Amino acid sequence: MAHQYHPLGFEGSRIAQGYWRLAEWGMSDQELLSFIEQSIAAGITTVDHADIYGDYQCESLFGRALALKPSLRDKLQIITKCGIRLPSKNRPEIASHRYDQSVQHILQSVDNSLQNLKVDHIELLLLHRPSPLMDADHIAEAFEHLHTVGKVRHFGVSNFNPQQFDLLQSRLEMPLLVNQVELSPLELKHFEDGTLEHAQQHAVTPMAWSPFAGGDMFRLEGINPTLFKALTEVSEAHNASLDQIALAWLMRHPSGIAPVIGSGSIERVLSAQQAQSIELSDDQWFAIWVASKGHPVP
């Protein structure tokens, strides 16, 4: 089930398990360990973190569970992110919500992540947001250092537009493998602003955050009845759930979208994983597109 994220490297699972709400799940370390094991057993081996998730606590919670069974480490591909500073009782030194993409911040953030996750390297580090104050040379210096010392294997970005991507890539020897952006049948913006064309051109994997539009997919009937009807018709044809169809719809795109799911329910995880076997016809794909746009294709 390994999925190639880029011609030059990084094999992960096509669907990644996101842990941004882990602190809300209320799991004991043992329960989380069990959840991780079941996810791996189902084939979801790529996990998506960020330093700031859960008020800077999610990485630690994950690390504590992982420490209960260190042999799991090699079965996982760990993604984490850096570059945002968030005021928090856990980080009293942070005065305001802003970006920090200095060499010092990136190196320190990765060291924190390694310590919290209790691992000696991470597979993929993403810059969390493009900063209006982005200095591509500084970021490249930090990335190259992290690569050289072996703390990070691969690099990517999140929420970057093509111009921002090109700027950072121009300073790096290594390819940026991933651009994690918001994509769902309810959020078509990046299908139309050049992001997916740019990703396809450069063989960069778009990862989809919020593939269920922050949960709107589950209350769609009231939000967008037209899209609800279209998704429902397709879901009935495949004997699948709406969220499975949303994932299958994303994965049908030729840019090779890799969705990040975020549920702590193992049933939902298994259901998502099964979505990989659903093959939408082009008629079905466009029925969803047209319903979301609200008008036929030109």
Q: Which is nearer to a copy of itself, 118 or 252 (CB)?
A: 252
- Tell me which residues are annotated as active site: 53
Q: Are 80 and 126 in contact (CB under 8 A)?
A: yes
Q: Which is nearer to a copy of itself, 86 or 266 (CB)?
A: 86
Q: Which is nearer to a copy of itself, 163 or 265 (CB)?
A: 163
- Could you tell me the smallest distance in angstroms from the CB atom of residue 194 to a copy of itself? 4
Token pair for residue 207? 């990862």
- Could you tell me the smallest distance in angstroms from the CB atom of residue 23 to a copy of itself? 21
Q: Which is nearer to a copy of itself, 170 or 239 (CB)?
A: 170
Which residues lie near a copy of itself (CB under 8 A)?
A: 84, 95-100, 102, 129, 132-138, 159, 161-164, 166-167, 170, 188, 191-192, 194, 197-198, 200-201, 252-254, 282-283, 285-287, 289-290, 296-298
- Could you tell me the smallest distance in angstroms from the CB atom of residue 176 to a copy of itself? 14
- Could you tell me the smallest distance in angstroms from the CB atom of residue 137 to a copy of itself? 8
